[in-house]
Structure 1
Amino acid sequence: MTDRTETQSDVVAFLRDPASHAGAEEVEVIATHASMIFLAGNRAFKLKKAVTYSFLDYGTVGLREAACRAELALNRRTAPQLYLGIRAIRCRADGRLGWDGAGETLDWVVEMVRFPQEALFSHLVEQGGLTPQIMRATADAIAAFHRSAEVTPGFGGAEGIAAVLRINAENMRECLPPAVASEDVGRLIAATRSAFDRHQSLLEARRQAGKVRRCHGDLHLGNICLLDGQPTLFDGIEFSDMIANTDMLYDLAFLLMDLLHRGHADFASIVFNRYLDRSDEADGLALLPLFLSLRAAVRAHVTARAALPQPSPSAAAYFARAEDLLRPVAPRLIAIGGLSGTGKSTLAAALAPLIGQAPGARWLRSDVLRKRHFGLAPEEKLPPAAYTREINDLIYGQLMAATRAALASGYSVILDAVAAKPDERAAFAALAKEAKVPFTGLWLEADPAILTARLEARRNDASDADAAVLRQQLAYNLGPMDWQRVDAGGDFAATLSAARQVLELPL
């Protein structure tokens, strides 16, 4: 192998040169710890750096070619419109470099369609371009991708997460910034190991149940973009089977941690709850604090290494986040009841990020459970036959079971249901007592004319209730009301403030 191959200097110079890209006036370069992306015209060319880390080896041309081919195949699962192919860069007989053709192969690149950097979620989140609707669509896309991903029981489980612990420990000791003391590193490693030891059996149970799959592996905001209005996952891990073949909740945890770290607990809560609404992964909920902490620790040492030899305040912040995410928060049960149109779901969505273990309370909504039971998205409409007494009882049972399981996993729960019957309200309180957690019931109320107007204006909601349903509810005998009454007829900010006071949440 020639020196020019080992250093990649000639290849980089070739890719930087606009003359190498027909019609391109200039070439922009984006560098990461493992790759360089050259943006030229309507194309992007991704070059693997000739680097070797404990978790990645691009040290030879052959390894980089294999990585390019794997990247193409794997990322076409989620972004086929972006990934065009791979290209060889070869040295001709006259010593000049060129694309493909004859000559010595110096390196390989992945060829992609170029998209504006403003489409990246990492950019959109800073510019206020992300919305609750986009985040719900993102959760739907991730859930659908995970459902279709190849099941890989030879990876993951306790052994797979133990490998992550080892990689994190090794790299944190090597390259965390001076702001993080060695005893702090030791404390985090010990706390992570303790959490891992408690959950080894659950990790293995999920692996055996098919919950370990060929996932994305690097699902942070910088690897999601908005293309034609649709969230698109790209740049998944190709260089490590161990990292990419993992528990689906560990895959999701990177996005949740990234949102939390950037100060968007509201979006993290939306993705968290929507994903669990659309997938059958709630059995792994107890693992999420560990998964979130591990993702923050990964980001800490990767960020620190990329900044060397300079110190990295960002790496220190990720380290602090990793510690914080492991700290338990005592769960509680909150029920929000009220007739249709009182704004139960709007209030629940606003409260969820503020309550309990990150990324917030599990928001369980009877309307969503009903849609899922019938295989529908929350916004799809059900026929009247889906609202019989028998089905109502079934959904109620599912709601109680899901609540019980989430509380047992250490997560707070917000129950969102009409709860017009005294025995339903009593059952919620009894469940909290059984789980040994505090309980608060909020009863929302407003003038019937306001409720009717809201229902008539409602669009794309999980609830199918209309004005006719409200008229039936208004005839209910609510019985004794021992929940805290909250006026929901005025400005939502006032309703939220009143609810936070009842719940003793900081204003």
Structure 2
Amino acid sequence: MAAWADRLRQQGHVRVRQIETHISWLVMAADRVWKVKKPVRLPFVDFSTLALRRHFCEEELRLSRRLAPQIYRRVVPLWRDAHGVPDTHRLARPADEWAVEMLRFADDALLAQQVHAGQLAPTALHALGVQMARFHSATAAQCPDAHYGSADLIASDVRALFAPLCGGPFAERVPIWQEWVAQQVARLTPLWRQRHRQGFVREGHGDLHMGNLVVLDGRIVPFDCIEFDPAKRWIDPVNDIAFLTMDLQAAGHTGLAAQVQDGWLQQGGDFAGLATWRFYEVYRAMVRAMVTGLSPASGSDGTAPGAHYADLLDGWTGRSSRPQLAITCGLSGSGKSTIAAAWLAQGNAVRLRSDVERKRLFGLDALDDSQALGQSIYTEEATTKTFARLAQLAEQALRCGWSVVVDAAFLRQRQRAAFRLLAQRLQLPFTILWCEAPPEVLRQRIAKRRAQSQDPSEATPELVAAQQQWLEPFTDEERPFVQPTSTGA
């Protein structure tokens, strides 16, 4: 491959570079990349024959084109000349090798670099979460092997990490991780089996960390799906997306991880998966701690490679903090969704949006126009069902250890009381986030939101006027829990 790179330079190609990994060679020139699979057979991959290498090139193209069609161009044959140097120039004989031809992008376009440089708005991560939820919903669900994504495989995969971890730099910390994993495996096995029976296992990405995402034209694009081991990509979608939320938190970007999770949950609605989310984050962090911990290099401060993953694991498997429940209260346009989104940045929290869940109850997407579709979703009965659903989801998430903020108007005392009593029953802290803004600001926000058509809310100026009549004052029981927030700027 080095000789091929040299020849490309001699032919006048610019920005020629060669990269070698454990299982591949990459040769780059100008705006193209050729990825050649090494003729290796390892416990986790078999590229030992030309036929297998061609097959896995075709699999890589198929799988990664689902998310990055602009990057993955084609599978190309290679022929070696008399000196053994590969090239794409066709010869009158069968190909000697196969490669995946891809679009080349700048190194600093990788998500890891973009996040580190502070060049990405939180909305971009939220949009990625939405995109991945749509991908998981649309991707193949007919699992080719009943063992893929099974409770037994999940448990064996995580247990297999302990031996190498015990031989690494974090050996003294492993027993605590091991004890936590054992408890969680016992707790989650029935749920894993249930989700497996219900068809949650999908053909996902399999390796969704920051190094496998790139920012192209302002949009985050996942690439490099796992092609060589179907068991690593036929997984529960929570396992897939939790890799990224873990990786962002390990890099110190808890708020961005929350944006990814919020986008994924709002779009897909799989709040039941929250029970497994932290386990999958721990599993992914253990994998990264094991892999990076094997590196001989140390950080600039002398810490062992992978220490940030180990620190994250210590926090997650140590003593857990109590979740809390918060609800918003205020007129449409008063900033409830903004306040609720900011509340997520504390980490370990999820948001429930009445506008989204109301539409979901009626089979509508978050941005669907219910009136245009002839749906009556704002009746008193529909509102009662919506708040009952919000209470059900809130209790479900709280019992799994997640703090919850419920983003709704909560104009009625009885609506607020139901959630205050829920927190009281679960013996958890409760807060009412009271949001208000001047009437002119409310009108401006409503008008802007309706013009953009990018928000689930269907509020109108007329509705805001009616809400002023419907808003019931806080009772003496409620006032100790009220936290005023001004969003009038």
Taking structure 1 as reference, are residues 467 and 486 closer, same or farther at Cα in structure 2, changes over 3 Å only?
farther
**Whole-angstrom distance in 1 between the partners of 2:10 and 2:432:** 64
Taking structure 1 as reference, are residues 381 and 31 closer, same or farther at Cα in structure 2, changes over 3 Å only?
farther
CA drift at 1:196: 1.6
Within the alignment, does 1:348 sit opposite 2:340 as a pair? yes
SS at match of 1:156: coil
Within the alignment, does 1:258 sit opposite 2:252 as a pair? no
SS at match of 1:110: strand
CA drift at 1:379: 3.8
Report which stretch shifted further, 30-39 or 110-119.
30-39
Equivalent of residue 143 in structure 1, options 133, 136, 149: 133
Q: Which amino acid aligns with 1:123?
A: Q
The 5 A counterparts of 1:57-76 are 57-58=46-47, 61=50, 63-76=52-65
Within the alignment, does 1:404 sit opposite 2:392 as a pair? no
- Which residue of structure 2 lines up, in the alignment, with residue 191 of structure 1? 180
SS at match of 1:386: coil
**Whole-angstrom distance in 2 between the partners of 1:467 and 1:189:** 56
- Which residue of structure 2 lines up, in the alignment, with residue 461 of structure 1? 455
Task: Judge conservation of contact 2:78–2:87 (CA < 8 Å) in 1.
Answer: yes
Alignment coverage as a number of residue pairs: 472
- Which residue of structure 2 lines up, in the alignment, with residue 443 of structure 1? 434
Q: Which amino acid aligns with 2:128?
A: T
SS at match of 1:314: coil
CA drift at 1:141: 1.4
CA drift at 1:31: 4.2
Equivalent of residue 474 in structure 1, options 452, 468, 479: 468
The 5 A counterparts of 1:70-89 are 70-89=59-78
Taking structure 1 as reference, are residues 170 and 31 closer, same or farther at Cα in structure 2, changes over 3 Å only?
farther
Q: Which amino acid aligns with 2:202?
A: R
SS at match of 1:318: helix
Task: Judge conservation of contact 1:450–1:489 (CA < 8 Å) in 2.
Answer: no
The 5 A counterparts of 1:67-466 are 67-93=56-82, 95-99=84-88, 101=91, 107-151=97-141, 152=143, 154=146, 155-174=148-167, 176=168, 178=169, 180=170, 182-305=171-294, 307-308=295-296, 313-327=304-318, 328-354=320-346, 359-383=347-371, 385-458=376-449, 459=452, 460-466=454-460
The C-alpha deviation readout for 1:204-263, integer Å capped at 9, x for no partner, is: 111111111111000112212233443322100011122111111000001111111122
The C-alpha deviation readout for 1:276-327, integer Å capped at 9, x for no partner, is: 111142212111111001111111222234x347787332221222232334
Task: Judge conservation of contact 1:43–1:112 (CA < 8 Å) in 2.
Answer: yes
CA drift at 1:124: 1.6
Task: Judge conservation of contact 1:213–1:248 (CA < 8 Å) in 2.
Answer: yes
Taking structure 1 as reference, are residues 189 and 54 closer, same or farther at Cα in structure 2, changes over 3 Å only?
farther
- Which residue of structure 2 lines up, in the alignment, with residue 4 of structure 1? none
Q: Which amino acid aligns with 2:468?
A: L
Report which stretch shifted further, 291-300 or 165-174.
165-174
| TM-score, normalised relative to structure 1 | 0.85
Task: Judge conservation of contact 1:345–1:416 (CA < 8 Å) in 2.
Answer: yes
CA drift at 1:426: 0.9
Task: Judge conservation of contact 1:160–1:246 (CA < 8 Å) in 2.
Answer: no
Task: Judge conservation of contact 1:68–1:109 (CA < 8 Å) in 2.
Answer: yes
The C-alpha deviation readout for 1:122-179, integer Å capped at 9, x for no partner, is: 22212222223212221121111111222216111212212321442243245x3x4x
Task: Judge conservation of contact 2:258–2:344 (CA < 8 Å) in 1.
Answer: yes
Identity of aligned residues (%): 34
**Whole-angstrom distance in 2 between the partners of 1:374 and 1:269:** 27
Task: Judge conservation of contact 2:188–2:276 (CA < 8 Å) in 1.
Answer: yes
CA drift at 1:378: 3.0
Task: Judge conservation of contact 1:254–1:295 (CA < 8 Å) in 2.
Answer: yes
- Where does the alignment leave 5 or more consecutive residues of structure 2 unmatched? none
Task: Judge conservation of contact 1:202–1:284 (CA < 8 Å) in 2.
Answer: no
The C-alpha deviation readout for 1:53-84, integer Å capped at 9, x for no partner, is: 54344455554443322212211222223222
Taking structure 1 as reference, are residues 391 and 16 closer, same or farther at Cα in structure 2, changes over 3 Å only?
same
Q: Which amino acid aligns with 1:469?
A: L
Task: Judge conservation of contact 2:344–2:350 (CA < 8 Å) in 1.
Answer: yes
Taking structure 1 as reference, are residues 31 and 373 closer, same or farther at Cα in structure 2, changes over 3 Å only?
farther
Report which stretch shifted further, 164-173 or 57-66.
57-66
**Whole-angstrom distance in 1 between the partners of 2:387 and 2:305:** 46
**Whole-angstrom distance in 2 between the partners of 1:95 and 1:117:** 30
The C-alpha deviation readout for 1:9-62, integer Å capped at 9, x for no partner, is: xxx223322527965223123444443322212211123345555434445555
- Where does the alignment leave 5 or more consecutive residues of structure 1 unmatched? 1-11, 493-507
Taking structure 1 as reference, are residues 243 and 347 closer, same or farther at Cα in structure 2, changes over 3 Å only?
same
SS at match of 2:472: coil
Taking structure 1 as reference, are residues 490 and 287 closer, same or farther at Cα in structure 2, changes over 3 Å only?
closer
SS at match of 2:25: strand
CA drift at 1:105: 6.2
SS at match of 1:475: helix
**Whole-angstrom distance in 2 between the partners of 1:279 and 1:403:** 16
CA RMSD of aligned residues (A): 2.7
Task: Judge conservation of contact 2:136–2:202 (CA < 8 Å) in 1.
Answer: yes
**Whole-angstrom distance in 2 between the partners of 1:22 and 1:101:** 19
**Whole-angstrom distance in 1 between the partners of 2:85 and 2:284:** 44
**Whole-angstrom distance in 2 between the partners of 1:169 and 1:470:** 57
**Whole-angstrom distance in 1 between the partners of 2:56 and 2:464:** 59
Task: Judge conservation of contact 2:57–2:99 (CA < 8 Å) in 1.
Answer: yes
- Which residue of structure 2 lines up, in the alignment, with residue 5 of structure 1? none
CA drift at 1:341: 2.1
CA drift at 1:437: 2.3
- Which residue of structure 1 lines up, in the alignment, with residue 33 of structure 2? 44
The C-alpha deviation readout for 1:72-121, integer Å capped at 9, x for no partner, is: 22112222232222234433456554335356866432111222333322
